[in-house]
Structure 1
Amino acid sequence: MTAEVPKQRIARFRAALVASPALWWALLYFFSLLCGYYVLRPVRDAMGASSDATAVFPRWLLDLAGARGIALGDYTLQILFTGTFFAMLLLQPVYGALVARFPRRVFLPVVYLVFIACLGGFWWAFDTDASGRGALFFVYIAVFNLFAVTVFWSFMADVFDNDQAKQVYGYIGAGGTLGALSGPALTRMLVEPLGVANLLLVSAGFMALCLLCIVKLRPWAVRRERSHHEQSGERPMGGSVWAGLRLAWQDPLLRALSILMFFGVGVGTLLYNEQAAIVREFYPTAEAATRYYSTIDWAVNTLTIVVQVLLTRWLLRRYGVAPLLLLPAVAILVGFSLLSASPLPLLVAVVQVVTRASEFSLNKPARETLYTRMARESRYKAKAVIDTAVYRGGDVTFVWVHKLLAGFGSSVVFLAGLGVAAGMTFGAWRVVREQRRLPEHASEVRRHAESS
């Protein structure tokens, strides 16, 4: 009986591939995207935890702060997260303008081409040990991750309708997790023989594969839109550049998703900052820190793919989004309760792995499935606001909260984190409640949008 379960899952996966050839390209797309990102993520994390301030900040800024008695190295993560937040605010209307004024076939490739061009510039910066490269790279990777992944899932909501999403999103997520597992493995294997700078070129190659997948998937998106008589993504969406902000504020479901995102980011930020303190103490070199972070990423993605293969698709089809949103919230509440009583470094790492894995394997697939039941403006504009501005707003808020609480000890940080986890649980409950008013079938989405 036990041996039959893997065979049945493999058979279902093969049937899904036969029923939807677009799934092949979606799997390759997400694999390439996350593999390319996770090649870079340990480099970013090593920069954030670096004790060498000159590798992170430009010399002129260090000198300027030093003349005023401020040691920037004591505020590295706070400054980096704040800079990332403002970068998101500046880029949000640029992205909104791209989406509003250009068709999908233009703005999707443009996003990735810009990222590839930036990687070329950072290759030069790391190859020449340019001062201040760490701060710019940290902000760039954060922007890249949120915008590139947001664009991916928005595009998937064009390619697959709600019924198809329940069938294939678990598989697509698993494909991304395989990429996320491969990325840290490549980093661990290549960082010493190639050096940090050349890892950026490896990532650029994966971004080029993403461009190929976009071209191959476009006809499937067009076909689905025509079959369901939806607004075509081959024409500019129009509307206001700021429509995403308005929708995220006015729509009850999008507002609930914003609350869930804000507090969900909060628990991750508190954990990330405690982990960075551990790395600074025990892994002082860039290579050692990069290797440590890649190990954490490997553990996160291993657990993620196990849950995706065994639970995600089954829970989503049988019970809907409720357990996928509420189970991670409960797990995080338990984890922070344990940490507030005993904040051991190993336990911090374990809770970090469980928190991130539950986000990737349960919480995120549930949220992305909801967008297949919304209008295109919500999928591209409001979703981008939630996934970028709200996300980084949570980052910058809680990185400073952590700075204020860190002086009182880890137990106090995690005790406060219990309140943040409670906010996440409230947001999850509101999303479960509000999503019930969404249409279930693709044929109803357009009528729902027109009546809103």
Structure 2
Amino acid sequence: MAPTDPRETDGGARASRVRVRLVDQPAALWWSLLYFFSLLCGYYVLRPVRDAMGSSGDALTVFPRSWVAWATARGWDITDFTLQILFTGTFLGMLLLQPLYGALVARFPRRVFLPVVYLVFIACLLTFYVAFHQAWPGRGVAFFVWTAVFNLFAVSVFWSFMADVFDDAHAKQVYGYIGAGGTIGALVGPVITLHLAQRIGVGNLLLVSAGFLCVCLLCILQLRPWAILRERARGEASGEQAMGGSIWAGLRLVAREPLLRALAILMFFGVGVGTLLYNEQAAITRHAFTDDAARTAFYANIDLAINGLAIVIQLFVTRWLLRTHGVAPALLIPAFAVLAGFSILAASPFPMMVAIVQVVTRAGEFSLGKPARETIYTRVPREWRYKGKAVIDTFVYRGGDLSFAWVHKGLSLFGSHIVFLGGVGIAGAMTFGAWRVIRAQRTLPGDASRAGPTTGDPAA
């Protein structure tokens, strides 16, 4: 499946044989598919619950009694600032957890820190199960913040692990399919929530999600041998050994390396356009639906539409586009779609048009933008994948959430037309970030297993 290059040395030929063994075994792809399916299915069982909490008009469902009392004493309705508070809390949560994650990655080998991440998430779900059944005040803010943290860390860790298992050439072949497996999970998750939320109660859905995370743990154990083969093919230090270095190495890498800086710019402004859309949608939903179950069903249907479009693109477009044209069109097509969508909304901000742009832009991100970015990480040193990438996927992501949640609050004072006009400028910055990434990634080797030694952070 991967022919031997006659120019290879004996060592290169042995690496090629390892690559053939790696990809000719379909189990690696199937376990990866099951892993991503289970991860996103478990998350999308929770996502409608989280979104319903974020748009709830019941202050005590979302916030602790002391917060509500403090705001009431000053004549404020705390629900007017629900999303801004939730996004601020999420960013602070990321800020606190980033050094903990850095310490975990630096001091423990892959066989330890990957299962630990998921075991902690499962334990948190069991705690929230109790909180929902006991109707603890303030459960909404805690659950919203935790779900956002869970999604970013778990998905970031997944793709870092995939870059251990597959090289660049094989990633372009299989990432579209793996992404489709995740999209199927993202389709099944809302269906589970849609049909079970009112039958078994919202709290019991958390146990369903915990079950899917247990499947993720099984997949990690099954994929370890392929990750080891991949590292031998690249001549890298084994991920079965602790990475070492500073817990802040990821921040230094992002500040120093042009490619990681470009990826951070793309992420920051990409999150910005998504946050403006999300907040406008939440405002519409709050007025249109009065109870949590109805809002949950509405968000589930939106997720179904997004993931339905995404899976069509992943199955029939992504693999072909990445293999034949590389990452450039896969990064630029979603950026131009966002620019066009916000330009239309600036002229005609109708609720149905907001929903359509939401579906198109998020589907483009999931099916094209995300796989394109992740293939780039197969060609960089391991410290970049686990440390720099984690900073971009969590700290930069939630920093964008926080910044643009408050930007939206200011723009919304002038109406939807101004919100979306501002979004056109943010979409332009996102497109600039995509262009910078395309230029910077051209300096990377096409196949890291044949490249010379890579330069990571010497202090990492």
TM tier relative to shorter chain: over 0.9
Q: In the alignment, is the contact (CA less than 8 A) between 1:57 and 1:133 conserved in 2?
A: yes
Partner Cα separation in structure 1 for residue 286 and residue 452 of structure 2? 52
AA of the residue aligned to 1:121: T
1:279-308 deviation line (CA, Å, top 9, x unaligned): 101111000000000000000000000010
Sequence identity of aligned pairs in percent?
68
Tell me the secondary structure at the aligned position of residue 447 of structure 1: coil
Partner Cα separation in structure 2 for residue 289 and residue 168 of structure 1? 36
In the alignment, structure 1 residue 343 sits paired with structure 2 residue 355: no
AA of the residue aligned to 1:441: D
AA of the residue aligned to 1:324: A
In the alignment, structure 1 residue 389 sits paired with structure 2 residue 395: yes
Query: Partner of 2:97 in structure 1?
Result: 91
Query: Partner of 2:281 in structure 1?
Result: 275
**What is the Cα deviation at residue 391 of structure 1?**
0.2
Tell me the secondary structure at the aligned position of residue 150 of structure 2: helix
Q: In the alignment, is the contact (CA less than 8 A) between 2:187 and 2:304 conserved in 1?
A: yes
Q: In the alignment, is the contact (CA less than 8 A) between 1:17 and 1:24 conserved in 2?
A: no
Closer/same/farther in 2, CA of residues 451 and 42 from structure 1, 3 Å limit: closer
In the alignment, structure 1 residue 294 sits paired with structure 2 residue 303: no
Query: Partner of 1:405 in structure 2?
Result: 411
Match of 2:184 among 178, 181, 184: 178
Alignment of 1:309-388 (within 5 A): 309-388=315-394
1:318-377 deviation line (CA, Å, top 9, x unaligned): 000000000000000000000000000000000000111000000000000000000000
Partner Cα separation in structure 1 for residue 25 and residue 224 of structure 2? 18
Q: In the alignment, is the contact (CA less than 8 A) between 1:374 and 1:445 conserved in 2?
A: no
Match of 1:118 among 103, 107, 124: 124
Query: Partner of 2:169 in structure 1?
Result: 163
Query: Partner of 2:440 in structure 1?
Result: 434
In the alignment, structure 1 residue 131 sits paired with structure 2 residue 141: no
Query: Partner of 1:10 in structure 2?
Result: none
AA of the residue aligned to 1:246: R
Closer/same/farther in 2, CA of residues 451 and 255 from structure 1, 3 Å limit: closer
Partner Cα separation in structure 2 for residue 228 and residue 149 of structure 1? 24
**What is the Cα deviation at residue 450 of structure 1?**
6.4
In the alignment, structure 1 residue 231 sits paired with structure 2 residue 251: no
Match of 1:152 among 141, 155, 158: 158
Tell me the secondary structure at the aligned position of residue 56 of structure 2: coil
**What is the Cα deviation at residue 60 of structure 1?**
1.2
Closer/same/farther in 2, CA of residues 208 and 410 from structure 1, 3 Å limit: same
Query: Partner of 1:220 in structure 2?
Result: 226
**After the TM superposition, which of the residue ranges 17-26 and 219-228 deviates more from structure 2?**
17-26
Q: In the alignment, is the contact (CA less than 8 A) between 1:373 and 1:445 conserved in 2?
A: no
Partner Cα separation in structure 2 for residue 64 and residue 135 of structure 1? 16
TM-score, normalised via structure 1 length: 0.95
Aligned residues: 437
Partner Cα separation in structure 2 for residue 250 and residue 450 of structure 1? 11
Q: In the alignment, is the contact (CA less than 8 A) between 2:253 and 2:260 conserved in 1?
A: yes
Tell me the secondary structure at the aligned position of residue 455 of structure 2: helix
Partner Cα separation in structure 1 for residue 449 and residue 346 of structure 2? 49
In the alignment, structure 1 residue 81 sits paired with structure 2 residue 87: yes
Partner Cα separation in structure 2 for residue 426 and residue 40 of structure 1? 33
Alignment of 1:230-249 (within 5 A): 230-249=236-255
TM-score, normalised via structure 2 length: 0.93
Match of 1:140 among 137, 142, 146: 146
Query: Partner of 1:26 in structure 2?
Result: 32
**What is the Cα deviation at residue 64 of structure 1?**
1.5
Partner Cα separation in structure 2 for residue 451 and residue 262 of structure 1? 23
**What is the Cα deviation at residue 20 of structure 1?**
3.4
Partner Cα separation in structure 2 for residue 382 and residue 201 of structure 1? 32
**What is the Cα deviation at residue 17 of structure 1?**
7.9
Q: In the alignment, is the contact (CA less than 8 A) between 1:375 and 1:446 conserved in 2?
A: no
**After the TM superposition, which of the residue ranges 115-124 and 218-227 deviates more from structure 2?**
218-227
Q: In the alignment, is the contact (CA less than 8 A) between 1:38 and 1:184 conserved in 2?
A: yes
Closer/same/farther in 2, CA of residues 138 and 451 from structure 1, 3 Å limit: closer
**What is the Cα deviation at residue 71 of structure 1?**
1.9
Partner Cα separation in structure 1 for residue 406 and residue 450 of structure 2? 44
